[in-house]
Amino acid sequence: MAYRSALINVMAQAARKAARGLVRDFGEVEQLQVSKKGPADFVSAADLRAEEVLRRELQKARPTFGLRMEESGETAGSDREFVWVVDPLDGTTNFLHGIPHFAISIGLERAGQPVAGVIYDPVKDEMFWAENGQGAHLNDHRLRVSSRSKLTEAVLATGIPFHGRAGHENFLAELAAVAAEVAGIRRFGAAALDLAYVAAGRYEGFWETGLSRWDISAGLLLVREAGGLVSEIDGGNKMLESGSVLAANASLHEPIRTLLRRAKQRP
């Protein structure tokens, strides 16, 4: 059995507690009270309840740490070094449409860099977790990124800009460039799980822009600890700030980036 530190246990227990309410609400999704937060971007009572459970559990375990939460924003801690970065429901649109593909994502950052992360899919009871220097795991099993090295055998995941987001034309150019070279492309609507699936070797790679810190903080660490590479699509290293992410195994990271770069250069 994989060893989980006290820190990972705190995160996993908080995720499981919050997940109980999400699963209950998912079963009654048609009765949820939903308010519109922005174009094609919804926040539900389920998000808010889950976030409050996570806040309570994380603050109880580590009262000095700060919090950065999707719905309620930032809360400074007396320890300025450590910050929880929390998405209580990644895949909200899936959730509200009755699609069973969503997750809770909890990252812990130290001085702005991820040092621990948990991504929990309550429908499948899959707990992805990683700690800096300790590897990545799914429940009790160690994870490694895919070993496939040919684009023609690779399955990639991506996110499509939705209504109200810029970048549709650029994305279509990227999609055309990549789709012609790979075995398949998937769009499942939960970036945290996309990154977890790269870490688990289910996808060879994932790219998307316009992501928020809470979408990717835990997932970036998972991919790294599973032996993968993460960068911005243009090769930079400020993914948490820019929201631009390319994650892949070491063999395919640069070939995928080359395809995406060519798409930008097309007239």
Q: In terms of pLDDT, which residue wins out, 264 or 7? A: 7
267 falls in which pLDDT band (50, 70, 90)? Answer: low
Q: What is the pLDDT of residues 128-185, one digit of tens each?
A: 999 999 999 999 999 999 999 999 999 999 998 765 566 578 889 889 999 999 999 9
230, 245, 226: which is closest to 130 by C-alpha? 226
Q: Say if residue 265's pLDDT is above 90.
A: no
Q: What is the pLDDT of residues 70-126, one digit of tens each?
A: 888 889 889 989 999 999 999 998 998 889 999 999 999 999 999 999 999 999 999
With residue 126 as reference, give the H or E element that holds it: strand 126-131
Confidence of residue 18 (pLDDT cuts 50, 70, 90): very high
* pLDDT reported for residue 71: 81
- CA-wise closest residue to 208 among 186, 196, 221, 191: 191
Q: What percent of the chain has pLDDT over 70?
A: 91
Question: Which pLDDT does position 169 carry in this prediction?
Answer: 81
Q: Are 185 and 155 in contact (CB under 8 A)?
A: yes
Q: Stretch 219-244: mean pLDDT, rounded?
A: 97
d(CA 90, CA 119): 10
Q: Which residue has the higher pLDDT, 27 or 134?
A: 134
| Cβ within 8 Å of residue 104, ≥6 positions away | 15, 18, 19, 22, 50, 54, 87, 88, 89, 90, 118, 119, 120, 122
pLDDT for residue 30 is more than 80: no
pLDDT category at 257 given cuts 50, 70, 90 is very high
At residue 221, the pLDDT reads: 98
Give which of 194, 231, 192, 198 is closest to 214, Cα–Cα.
192
Q: Are 209 and 183 in contact (CB under 8 A)?
A: no
pLDDT given at position 170: 83
Q: Extract the tokens encoding 172.
A: 């279509």
Q: Encoding tokens for residue 87? A: 């998405």
**pLDDT value at residue 10:** 97
User: Alpha-carbon distance 68 to 85, whole Å?
Assistant: 5
pTM: 0.93
Helix (H) / strand (E) element for 89: namely strand 82-90
What totals of helices (H) and strands (E) does the chain contain, helices first? 8, 15
Cβ proximity of 23 and 123 under 8 Å: yes
Please report the domains of the chain, with CATH numbers, ordered by start residue.
6-142 (3.30.540.10), 151-265 (3.40.190.80)
Q: How far apart are CA 249 and CA 54, in angstroms?
A: 32
